[in-house]
Structure 1
Amino acid sequence: MAEQAETLRRTPLSRDRILHAAVALADLAGIESLSMRNLAQDLGVVPMALYKHVANKDELLDGMIDVVVGEIDPPVRDAGWKHTVRRRILSAREMLRRHPWAPLAIESRNMATPALLAYLDSMVGALRAGGFSTDLAHHVMHAMGSRILGFSQELFDASRRAGRSGATDPEPPAAFPPEVAARFPHLAEIAVAASHDDASVVGQGCDDQFEFEFALDLLLDGIERLHQEGWTSSRPPGERQDG
């Protein structure tokens, strides 16, 4: 292990090496630990050496996002739009499990990175290849939201946090605090209706695997129905075609 680390430190510095080292550092210690100084120390170089390859920390973060997005499985040829979209979204989710800092990093950027744009473009391409109109494809991407990147915000985590008020002895994760449950009984009832596996959560505040796939399949089934009906956004509100 020591020999491998020494060999890596002797490898000529490059943008690719810097980005992968930054990803590894964020994976190990969290995105908040990432600084040009810490990264340079890990690479065995002075901080100024990094700036020959990345202009600043913003460019570093963009490059890191492109590295991890590049881990998402490519489309399977002739697999059908529904299978392709579902498989790639779940692959994106697996990527986020390996890199739990990525959702926050992606959401923090003002503009999508090239690899992220390419991924989103290919997902729209899968819909168009499946016969979707540009109109329906547009609304599908909005409906998917962050779920198309493999994550979504968990509803009940925020609700439970709202009732804790900094308490040092919070209720078990599956239950609302008593005072919150008394005010919002219906939410409290469904919050304990099923257990959630904390080990399957992509990141803090994100839903677990079962709930994610449940919602994803609901969306995909609904999208499939609209596609078969020839749905368009120009149809008057409330009007629908019988299947």
Structure 2
Amino acid sequence: MTVTPPARSPRRRVPRNTLNPDRILDAAVALLDRHGPEAFTMRALAQELGVGTMAVYSHFKGKDEIIDAVNERLLGEIELPSGTGPPRGQLIELCVGVYRLFSEHPSALQLLTSRPLRGDEPIAVIDRMLCLLITAGLDPSAAARAQVALMQYTVGAALWVVRRNRAECEEAEAGLREKIRSRLAALPPDSYPSLVGLAPELVAAQQSGQAQYEAGLSALLDGLIRN
């Protein structure tokens, strides 16, 4: 008896002559954000685009070149402050831009911490932060420490959001909030008076995303500069 193999689902192909580096990088960003650099392959990228693998090689030499191009593109999305206004306000604008990039594009955060820096974009961000801190009145040593502290806080806050979003879908997150509330409500008030008393505020703070980040950033800058 002849066994007929299962029919393959047709691959969605892009129209002829429409594949270009920008389209490839768009697809690469989407793929990296969903699955991370570890799962990124040229075959997976070609499937995302609906083309053969060799069509991608006609624009890029290989996976590493694409990942480096993605890294440069994403970091290039961070807009440097215009240079007007108090240094504190410009620092907030710059740090929020970095936070948004990393929280909206998990791949940018992973690539930044796993690959050598390329291009001028990350260097320009660091240089502007240092310049603003010096302008705010910090001495060189204090400015260097403050810049590292700001980046550590920003990267950590973005990583928190990325991991939470990956671990929980919207419905599961709503269930998680209720579990946290129930757990806090079950604690003995005599033993944990502050935790029980502030339970609603704690749950809200953990779920407030950028608003929580900006509140922490403002408090951190209050301790670093006075301008």
TM-score by length of 2: 0.66
**Among residues 25, 29, 34, which one is paired with 1:23 in the alignment?**
29
- Note closer, same or farther for the CA distance 1:142–1:40 as it changes in structure 2 (3 Å cut): same
- Note closer, same or farther for the CA distance 1:23–1:145 as it changes in structure 2 (3 Å cut): same
The Cα offsets for residues 198-226 of structure 1, whole Å up to 9 and x where unpaired, read as 775xxxxxxx223211210111111114x
1:111 matched residue in structure 2: 116
**Among residues 92, 95, 100, which one is paired with 2:101 in the alignment?**
95
Q: Mark the runs of 5 or more structure 1 residues left unpaired by the alignment.
A: 162-168, 201-207, 229-243
Instruction: Name the aligned partner's letter for residue 95 of structure 2.
Output: I
Shift of residue 185, structure 1, vs aligned partner: 4.6
- Note closer, same or farther for the CA distance 1:54–1:126 as it changes in structure 2 (3 Å cut): farther
Alignment of 1:1-243 (within 5 A): 6=14, 10-14=17-21, 16-27=22-33, 29-31=34-36, 34-51=40-57, 53-107=59-113, 109-114=114-119, 115-148=121-154, 151-152=157-158, 154=160, 172=178, 174-175=180-181, 177=183, 185=192, 189=196, 192-194=199-201, 195-196=203-204, 200=208, 208-225=209-226
Identity %: 27
Contact 1:26 1:34 in 2 (8 A): yes
Contact 2:29 2:70 in 1 (8 A): yes
Shift of residue 129, structure 1, vs aligned partner: 3.9
**SS of aligned partner of 1:74:** coil
Larger-gyration structure (1/2):
2
Shift of residue 137, structure 1, vs aligned partner: 1.3
Aligned length: 199
Higher RCO (CA 8 Å, separation ≥ 6 residues): 2
TM-score by length of 1: 0.62
The Cα offsets for residues 73-102 of structure 1, whole Å up to 9 and x where unpaired, read as 221122232111101212223334432443
**SS of aligned partner of 1:92:** helix
Give the distance between the partners of 2:204 and 2:31, measured in 1 at CA. 29
The Cα offsets for residues 119-155 of structure 1, whole Å up to 9 and x where unpaired, read as 2222223323444332111110222233345835559
Root-mean-square deviation (Å): 3.9
Higher helix share: 2
**SS of aligned partner of 2:20:** coil
Contact 1:176 1:188 in 2 (8 A): no
